[in-house]
């Protein structure tokens, strides 16, 4: 009888362990926080529909030798600029551009501190990133080339998945584990929502500017200097979708400008979120 009990316990432990290994990492994000540090406004052109940059959920799943990352927005993902007719064809959506940052070791000083050019963000000292996954509507070749040209030092750690799946409100990419360097639920994650810009400014990697005043195709509510986080929505707080996480986001995205003297500007410092 004892043997049966031990066997049952062992099976139960194995099943539990399996379930834990297969359980996705899920973060929720509150709605209505697609305003960056608190006051950002959408561009005025009709394509930028309310809620288009409002992230509500992130799910990261272990799929054997691959990792699947899904990011859900508040509203249905549309393709107002007909990306399938670009040359080469895009991915079936046009507006959003999402960057997923991964902290694999949670060690202070390890990894990259700065986000990709065009975001004006940094990461906390103990939450620097080792890998970044780009969910871009651009053809893979264009996205890779932009990174290679404008972020050469980081390019080795930036992954552009082969394809993006668009389903309703959700964008999904699949990343081979050998590119990501495995998968561990203990890793830290940050997901940054921006807008795809086919004609980016200077050294920006396909990101749309946030200016002081919104324009047809420019976000507003930021600064005309290059010191504001050019980011609409991020994960913040506990990542449970609670309303107080908005405040955590606004805190995380606080920044200080110092006119043209970028050495005195204080860029926003983003946290990584870890599954407890």
Partner 1 sequence: MKRSGAVVWQLAGTLLAAAILLAGFPARADKKNFDMSAKLYTKWLYKNDDSQGVLWLGNPFWPDDIAGNNGVASEFELAFTGSVSRYVNAGAKIQSRFGGVWQDWWESGERKWEYEGEHNTSGDSLGINRAMYVKFRGFYVNLNPDVPVVDWFRVGSSDLAMFNAWTIGKVRYIDRDNARGVFAQADFADGLFGYHAGIIALPKLWVGPGWSTGIGDDKLEYPFFTQDWAYAARLDSMPIDWLKVSVVGSYTRDVEFDRWDPDAKGSLTSGCVDSMGDAIPGCTIDHAVSTYPRYENAVVTGEIEAQPGDIFYGHLLVGYSYSRLGEKFAENGVESNEGMFPVVYGDVGDLAARARAFAVDPFEIGLSLKLEGFYIGQDWTSIFGARREDDVLLTDGLIEGGQLPTLNLANEFVDFDEPWFESCVGWMGGTAILGYQWENLDIGVEGTYLTYATNGQGRDIDKKYPTFLYSEGYTDTDLYDYANVGDRGRDPRSVYKRDQDRQTLLGVLTGRYTFDFGLSVEAKAKYVRDDDWRKLHLDGSSKFYTDDDYLGDIVTGRLKVSMPVFSSLTVGIGGQIDRWDERNRSGDLSGGYGDYLTSKQKGFGVLTYRWGGASLNYYLEYVHKNQERPDELNLADQEWKVWRSKASFEVAW
Q: Which spans of this chain sit near partner 1 (rule: CB under 8 A)? A: 31-32, 44-47, 50-51, 72, 74-76, 82, 85, 87-88, 139-142, 144-145, 148-149, 162-163, 165, 167-170, 174, 176, 199, 201-202, 209, 211-213, 215, 224-226, 259-260
Name the minimum Å distance from CB 85 to partner 1.
Answer: 7
Handedness of CA 74, 78, 83, 84 (dihedral sign): positive
Residue 257, number of CB atoms within 10 A of its CB: 18
Name the minimum Å distance from CB 266 to partner 1.
Answer: 18
Which one, 51 or 251, has the nearer CB to partner 1? Answer: 51
The whole-angstrom separation of Cα 144 and Cα 225 is 27
Name the minimum Å distance from CB 227 to partner 1.
Answer: 10
The whole-angstrom separation of Cα 235 and Cα 192 is 7
**Residues recorded for the chain:** 276
Which one, 49 or 185, has the nearer CB to partner 1? Answer: 49
Name the minimum Å distance from CB 234 to partner 1.
Answer: 19
Which one, 3 or 85, has the nearer CB to partner 1? Answer: 85
Which one, 68 or 251, has the nearer CB to partner 1? Answer: 68
- Reduce the secondary structure of 15-31 to three states and give it as a string: HHHHHHHHCCEEEECCC
The whole-angstrom separation of Cα 138 and Cα 90 is 5
């Amino acid at each position: 009888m004892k043997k049966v009990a031990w066997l049952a316990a062992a099976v139960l432990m194995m099943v539990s362990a399996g379930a834990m290994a297969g359980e996705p990492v899920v973060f929720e994000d509150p709605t209505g926080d697609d305003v960056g540090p608190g006051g950002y406004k959408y561009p005025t052109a009709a394509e930028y529909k309310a809620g288009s940059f409002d992230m509500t959920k992130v799910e990261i799943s272990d799929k054997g030798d691959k990792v699947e990352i899904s990011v859900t927005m508040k509203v249905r993902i549309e393709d107002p600029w007909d990306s399938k007719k670009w040359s080469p064809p895009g991915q079936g959506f046009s507006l959003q551009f999402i960057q997923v940052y991964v902290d694999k070791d949670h060690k202070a000083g390890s990894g990259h501190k700065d986000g990709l050019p065009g975001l004006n963000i940094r990461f906390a000292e103990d939450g620097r990133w080792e890998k970044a996954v780009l969910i871009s509507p651009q053809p893979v070749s264009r996205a890779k080339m932009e990174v290679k040209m404008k972020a050469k030092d980081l390019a080795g750690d930036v992954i552009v998945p082969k394809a993006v799946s668009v389903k309703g409100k959700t964008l999904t990419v699949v990343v081979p584990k050998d590119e990501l360097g495995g998968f561990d639920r203990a890793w830290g994650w940050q997901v940054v929502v921006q807008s795809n810009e086919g004609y980016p400014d200077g050294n920006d990697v396909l990101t749309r500017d946030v200016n002081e005043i919104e324009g047809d195709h420019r976000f507003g509510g930021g600064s005309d200097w290059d010191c504001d986080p050019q980011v609409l929505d991020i994960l913040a707080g506990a990542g449970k979708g609670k309303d107080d996480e908005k405040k955590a986001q606004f805190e995380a995205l606080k920044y200080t400008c110092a006119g043209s003297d970028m050495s005195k500007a204080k860029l926003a410092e983003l946290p990584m979120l870890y599954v407890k």
